[in-house]
Homo-oligomer: A and B are copies of this chain.
Amino acid sequence: MNSGLSSLLVSAALLAATCALGAPASSTVRGAEYPAINPDGSVTFRFKAPTAQKVQVQPGAAAGEPSGLGKGPFDMVRDSDGVWSVTVPPGVPGLHYYWLLVDGFEANDPGSKTAFGYNRETSVVEVPEPGVDFYLQKDVPHGDVRTHWYFSKLTGAWRAAYVYTPPGYDSNPRMRYPVLYLRHGGGENAEGWVKQGKMNFIMDNLLAGKKARPMLVVMDTGYAEPPGVTPSLAPGGATSRNTIVPLTLNELIPAIDANFRTLADREHRAMAGLSMGSAQTLQITLPNLDRFAWIGAFSRPAVNDFNTQTSYDGAFRDAARFNQQVRLLWLGAGTAEHNIHDSLKRTHDLLDQAGVRNVFVELPGTAHEWQTWRKSLYDFAPRLFR
């Protein structure tokens, strides 16, 4: 072998070795090396637990739909130093919840950031989607996200609402803005749309590209109990369902309109939500179309007996009137959240047959996870307030 070919082969081998190495996920904590994302999209988990007997990685599933990371649990293998590791095959890109089962105990991975899901802080791993960057932080003007406290008489407690103010909100003190109310899913909290969903970066990027109208985005907690009532952790539990509608209409919206420069009418007010939050969105908006003209249901939990005459208290019965009032009814789901997708597609078809104007957006390959909801917002927001 001549030396030129030899050095070429060495270079190729080095390149292959380098490419096979993973890099820490963007969800990996500062200073840690694992979880790592490999070039093929597989994920390597690795951490030390010398005295544990059995350790597994368990992807989080929700609403009866599988995780994009796979079903699991994935058994980890222990080396002689007490370091456990496993590589999980490539799955659906995006943010996945997961936890470790350490001798059967559900524990977070010390190497990962956490986000609120499953009613507690849960480990997350972010798998990038090649060529997709609309939710990444780019070199464009950034809006702020404010934590704003308001008092609810209905719950007898202060609540924190999160408010995205677009770039220019502070430097244009006479300008007023339309408002999108954006709701989280079951087991999550009001920080989810920023922390997991990157909604602020999605809006920043849309606005920098002049693809959406500047708007405020308000994210409130999807749970609400009257004073003295024990919280229910069930998504859409009765307690929350009965309180969240009047709380949103009579306490949240007035607090936002009083403290931010909003355009406070139905034509400039939208609401959307994901999963449990989409069911709440429909409960809040459909009987109150004098307050909302733009509605989005992202990955609505399956409704198997949908009927255009009776469902949602007959909100769709008068198609002509509905079409006159509602500027946008947006329905969408990932194709990998099978039951939810099929149920929503059926609702869409029945609405179409009944002449109720609506948009149905399929997100190819994504699951009941945040990649679906990031893409939903990216499609939904540009259609608002036009």
Contact status of A147 and B145, CB under 8 A, knowing A103-B53, A121-B114, A231-B31: yes
A71 in the interface, Cβ–Cβ < 8 Å? no
CB distance from A53 to the nearest CB of B (A): 7
Q: Among the listed stretches A104-112, A269-277, A344-352, which one makes contact with chain B, having 4 or more residues with CB under 8 Å of it?
A: A104-112
Q: How far is the CA of A259 from the CA of B158 in the complex (A)?
A: 28
Q: What are the interface flags for A96-137 relative to B under an 8 Å C-beta threshold, 1 for contact and 0 otherwise?
A: 000000111111101001100001110000000000000001
Against B, the Cβ 8 Å flags (1 = close, 0 = not) of A260-276 are: 10000000000000000
Closest chain B residue to A169 by CB distance?
B170
Q: Quick one: which of B105, B114, B146, B148 contacts A107, CB cutoff 8 A?
A: B105
Which residues on B sit within 8 Å (CB–CB) of A49? 104-105
**Docked CA distance A145–B147 (Å):** 5
Q: Does A34 contact B (CB under 8 A)?
A: no
Contact with B along A145-158 (1 / 0, CB 8 A): 11111010000001
The chain B residue with its CB closest to the CB of A171 is B259
Cβ contact of A146, chosen from B114, B145, B223, cutoff 8 A: B145
A228 contacts partner chain B, Cβ-Cβ < 8 Å: no
* Contact between chains at A137 and B149 (CB < 8 Å): yes
In the complex, whether A52 has a CB less than 8 A from a CB of chain B is: yes
Please name all residues of chain B whose beta carbon is closer than 8 Å to the beta carbon of A145 when the two chains form the complex. 146-147
| CB nearest to A173 among chain B residues | B173
Chain A residues within 8 Å of B, Cβ to Cβ: 29-31, 49-53, 102-108, 110, 113-114, 119-121, 137, 139, 142, 144-149, 151, 158, 170, 173, 194, 223, 230-233, 259-260
User: Sorted from nearest, which 4 A-B pairs have the closest CB atoms?
Assistant: A51-B104, A107-B107, A142-B149, A145-B147
